[in-house]
DNA sequence: GTCTATAACCGGATAGAC
DNA sequence: GTCTATCCGGTTATAGAC
């Protein structure tokens, strides 16, 4: 799950094992960049300034990061790790679907909060179909898979029963729901993104109700045609 | 509805009325730019090259378009106009909700097809929460309103009956659905975006079924809580 | 108000020496 | 792996012509 860089860095810190010089520089650049992005914003932070503050030549930064956008990608990975860790606690405690989904979504919003302004930029580059940062791109398939896995976890530990056909697709559908909330969050300019909180609280309830509803026998035809569509699309993709 | 520039251009063509020199130049730049974007792609087309091909000084392009992105905006407006016009025909013929929605969605996909690659770029800039191009930004409120209006039209002419509470929100919900399809389309790399076609065909059916289902009395509580959420969010926004 | 011509600035990205 | 020098293209500035 962990990316090599972060892993090695962790090793350096935790066990004192010497990281190669390259790894050290890479870390230094990343720390400097993220710090400056946080202070000054993404567009306003030039690659030159990052290099200067880190005390290395501009060319060297391009040796370690293919482009300015790739610095964002590193942030992205770090954030995902944070989600994994903080949600683990919630999932140990909560046993109802509603509680678990709410807990996970809350954690995710908490984790992202400090980076709201920055996330707008991230989203902009992530939205580019060409970009490897794009959540639907093949490059980010591992990250996506891990993310969906988090929602599989949400469902697995809950007492709520559902038909097997739905159970198979539900994690992906919850992930999609979560992406919608994140999309709203990005565009939410209310103080502390309170509107997103409210939206999340209320839609979690609706989502849970919807799952129960759609599990009922009279809903079977509709459910099946939607699920059929999903599997067809997936097959077509390969 | 029409933008001034396009209107004047149309007049020039249709009635021979002289457009001002400025309007002509503006048109010329836009045509040239769109053509080159289509041939070479957005990133690969430089402002210098556009100016050169149009036979104009580079400074002049900046006189007419504040930035390279503003050329995209012009494309955006043109596309919206095209949708309005081509959908009008469909809406005159079709009388069922399914037929109308399918017709409109088909037209939209047809209109966009030549610009698939280009649309990726457009989307990238449009996704930036800061950008005036963003479909959720205040700046694009008129365009959004007009777009929602198109779906109000879809519903108005259909025989399908629905409860008044739903009727009020349905155009916006259909617009949101349409945005989802466009999002999929942007990321669809299948030949001629066939996967999007298929997705659209099948989801139109599901959407219509969903509308009928949710109009049923036993669905009233769920429907009301969703609709309540929507109006609450709107109120909060102002 | 509409445009030309030209030069400069800025910052992301790259080449090639060491 | 790191440096210096350079390229490239979006953008801005200026001064002047019609």
**Residue lying closest to nucleotide D3, CA to C1':** A57
Q: Does A129 touch chain B (CB under 8 A)?
A: yes
pLDDT at B234 over 60: yes
What's the mean pLDDT in B18-23?
73
Residues B59/B65, Cβ–Cβ less than 8 Å: no
Tokens 């509680």 map to which residue?
A99
Q: What percent of chain B has pLDDT over 70?
A: 91
pLDDT digit string (tens) for A204-219? 999 999 999 999 999 9
pTM over the 0.75 mark: yes
The Cα–Cα gap between B110 and B79 comes to: 11
Residues A236/B195, Cβ–Cβ less than 8 Å: yes
Which of chain C's bases lie under 7 Å from a protein CB? 1-7, 10-16
Q: Which residues of chain A have pLDDT under 70?
A: 1-19, 132
Q: Give strand letter and number of the nucleotide nearest B70 (CA to C1').
A: D10
Q: Helix count (H) and strand count (E) of chain B? A: 11, 0
Q: Which residue has the higher pLDDT, B72 or B180?
A: B180
Of A131, A187, A205, the CB nearest to B136: A187
Choose the most confident range, by mean pLDDT, from A126-140, B7-21, B22-36, B196-210. B196-210
Of residues 34 to 63 in chain B, which lie within 7 A of strand C by their beta carbon? 55-60, 63
Q: Give the list of residues 6+ apart from residue B234 with CB closer than 8 angstroms, or none.
A: none
The reply to whether residue B203 touches residue A134, judged by beta carbons under 8 angstroms, is no
B234: closest chain A residue by CA: A195
Predicted local distance difference test score (pLDDT) of residue B75 = 80
Domains and CATH numbers, chain A: 66-237 (1.10.357.10)
Predicted local distance difference test score (pLDDT) of residue A8 = 41
Q: Give the list of residues 6+ apart from residue B236 with CB closer than 8 angstroms, or none.
A: A190, A195, A198
Q: Which residue has the higher pLDDT, B152 or A6?
A: B152
Q: Does B213 touch chain A (CB under 8 A)?
A: yes
Distance, in angstroms, between B166 CA and closest chain A CA? 17
pLDDT digit string (tens) for A112-166? 988 887 787 777 777 777 776 777 777 778 778 888 999 999 999 999 999 999 9
């Amino acid at each position: 799950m962990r990316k090599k860089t972060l892993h090695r860095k962790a090793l350096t810190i935790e066990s004192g094992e010497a990281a190669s010089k390259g790894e050290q520089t890479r870390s230094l650049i990343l720390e400097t960049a993220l710090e400056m992005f946080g202070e000054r914003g993404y567009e306003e932070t030039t690659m030159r300034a990052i290099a200067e503050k880190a005390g290395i030549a501009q060319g060297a930064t391009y040796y370690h990061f293919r482009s300015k956008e790739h610095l964002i990608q590193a942030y992205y990975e770090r954030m995902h790790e944070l989600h994994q860790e903080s949600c683990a606690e919630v999932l140990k405690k909560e046993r109802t679907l509603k509680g678990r989904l709410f807990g996970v979504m809350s954690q995710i919003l908490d984790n992202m909060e400090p980076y709201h302004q920055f996330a707008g930029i991230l989203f902009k580059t992530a939205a580019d179909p060409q970009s490897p940062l794009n959540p639907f791109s093949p490059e980010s398939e591992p990250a996506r898979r891990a993310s969906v896995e988090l929602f599989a976890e949400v469902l697995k530990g809950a007492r709520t029963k559902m038909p097997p056909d739905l159970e198979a697709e539900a994690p992906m559908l919850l992930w999609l729901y979560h992406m919608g909330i994140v999309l709203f969050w990005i565009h939410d300019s209310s103080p502390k993104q309170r509107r997103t909180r409210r939206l999340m609280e209320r839609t979690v309830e609706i989502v849970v109700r919807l799952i129960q509803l759609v599990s009922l026998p009279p809903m079977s035809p509709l459910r099946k045609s939607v699920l059929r569509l999903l599997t067809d699309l997936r097959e077509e993709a390969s």
